[in-house]
Structure 1
């Protein structure tokens, strides 16, 4: 005989299960596509450190069949490796179709130039016949469709959509609320600035610097920190520009994206050693701001980047 308490508990679990099942199907916008999910993915893979951190922050580790594109670019850190314990890295850089299929993947969280390339072998179109759904990082959509400059809304949209896809809406809301509160604190500190400091983003490159154009996330980070990306009129995402264009725009500070085999210190020394750059305000003042890769690219670390940049651009505002 089933006791009344047990019967009530079974009924509650049944109602809860039905309520969760009622969450689906879910339709989300991914770049210029609508993607329908009949249920939460069970064997997900994320590419790159920033996308993987979003998955972990949403409590989705148990749903992950693996991750890709971290060790090959030297973008991980000890804390992330500890969080990922037990989750395999399926590919050091971009995964192949075969790697994803062999791992039984049903969901790939990636982006254009974040695990996929236009015209490459791994795309939403090539994975669809294999029953692998793809959600594309919003900022990266600039590579496949016209879109405005990146903003924090892109990150919020990604968190919100992942929350809907995996039935993790509450976790997504908590993350967004925390980010918004921290950003509001920075805004209150720095106040209005009629002449925001000019900032250049240096990722890598010697003959031509690889930098963030107006459609890349650092433009939004610098703006939120009370500065202006000197390349904000370049209607591209991450791209290469000429050193002549950098000189012409005379940045007052340079953000160094720290990752890979070349250290931030080595990147700074390279810039200091270039005769053509010696008259830049940023070079003369030795005004370099170092942020890690996962803070510069869209993800949960973006607010930390804003805080770092804001402290460097407006030290008096944070001196109290």
Structure 2
């Protein structure tokens, strides 16, 4: 009986060990003994990753959406059974009060370096954190943004929640869909010069090499004129934009200032009159959820690729 019990115990321990999953989260390795049961995601794009993997049953809510953006019908249907626990960045007490065991967020996507909500401050309360790959530049060195950043997050979430097959199927579908679309596009003689205009009038807030639009623009065949900016999202001077003379301006649409208002600002300002994109009225609008890492990056690349090839 003792031998039988020992064998059974060993088998049980082996099964437990096999169930553990370790993933890389920025500069940390994080181990999960079992899939989280009370997850919270922050921001619209991170929440859509959870929805794309059909993880609603593992979630107790989400944060950081309505305070910044509005939900479209597709997104609203996906989260209708879940509460929004905080309209903007959540306080630590919000996550603890929801009995969360997992927080999917990023640096400047729900967490701030040195802030009250970080992997280190949540660990004593049993809340594991997985960090958005694109945001890792805020806590250490990282390669420029790429489509693989988004695929990496889906793959790691799949491993964390025990749905790796589902995640790989989703990733392969996205990759095949995008490759098929791009194969049908005409070749570009030169990569168009592209400027990303997020917000700001005195100085523009834009995407550097570590922000997702840099990857989207490159995947579509263009060049981000700020791809030498050694930052993620940051402000630059308008003089640099004028000097680099973008042929196309990508407008990120969210918040109180509409895309049309941003376009009007550029079109009506005499200082921008000689910019090629302004002279030729070549503006492309991406919704916030398309311009940040998430499932809608595929449609974003398609939108940009078509715009780059338009007369």
With structure 2 as the length reference, what TM-score do the two structures score? 0.93
Q: Shift in Å at residue 270 of structure 1?
A: 1.1
Aligned to 1:78, which of 58, 73, 78?
A: 73
Q: Secondary structure at the match of 1:109?
A: strand
Contact 1:200 1:231 (C-alpha < 8 Å) held by counterparts:
yes
Aligned 1:170-189 pairs, distance under 5 A: 170-189=165-184
* Residue matched to 1:167: 162
After TM superposition, the structure 1 = structure 2 runs for residues 1-320 of structure 1, keeping only pairs within 5 Å, are: 23-190=18-185, 192-193=187-188, 195-315=190-310
Change (3 A) 1:79 1:23: farther
The alpha-carbon deviation at position 186 of structure 1 amounts to 3.4
Distance 2:249 2:192 in 1: 10
Q: CA deviation at 1:191?
A: 5.5
In the TM superposition, what whole-angstrom CA distance separates every residue of 1:164-209 from its partner, at most 9, and x where no partner exists? 0000112211210111012212331335545200000011111111
CA apart distance, 1:75: 4.2
RMSD of aligned Cα (Å):
1.7
Long gaps (5+) in structure 2: 1-11
Note the residue ranges of structure 1 that are not aligned, 5 or more in a row: 1-16
Residues 20 and 63 of structure 1: CA distance in aligned 2, closer, same or farther (over 3 Å) = farther
Alpha-carbon displacement from aligned partner over 1:16-37 (angstroms, at most 9, x marks no partner) = x999966521100000000010
* Distance in 2 between residues matched to 1:248 and 1:182, nearest whole Å: 36
- Residues 56-88 of structure 1, C-alpha deviation per residue, up to 9 Å, x if partnerless? 110100111100011000142121111111200
- Whole-angstrom distance in 2 between the partners of 1:58 and 1:258: 25
Q: Distance in 2 between matches of 1:301 and 1:20?
A: 37
What secondary structure is seen at the aligned counterpart in 1 of 2:284?
Answer: strand
| Structure 2 contact 196–206 (Cα < 8 Å) conserved | yes
The 1-side partners of 2:167 and 2:29 are apart by 20
Q: Is the 8 A contact 1:186 1:310 kept in 2?
A: no
Aligned equivalent of 1:11: none
* Shift of residue 299, structure 1, vs aligned partner: 0.6
The answer to whether the 8 A contact 2:188-2:309 is kept is no
Deviation of 1:236 after TM superposition, in Å, equals 0.6
Would you say how many aligned residue pairs link Structure 1 and Structure 2?
300
Aligned to 1:10: none
Decide whether the 8 Å contact of 1:49 with 1:75 is kept in 2.
Answer: no
Runs of 4+ residues over 4 Å off in structure 1: 17-23
Superposition deviation, residue 131 in structure 1: 0.9
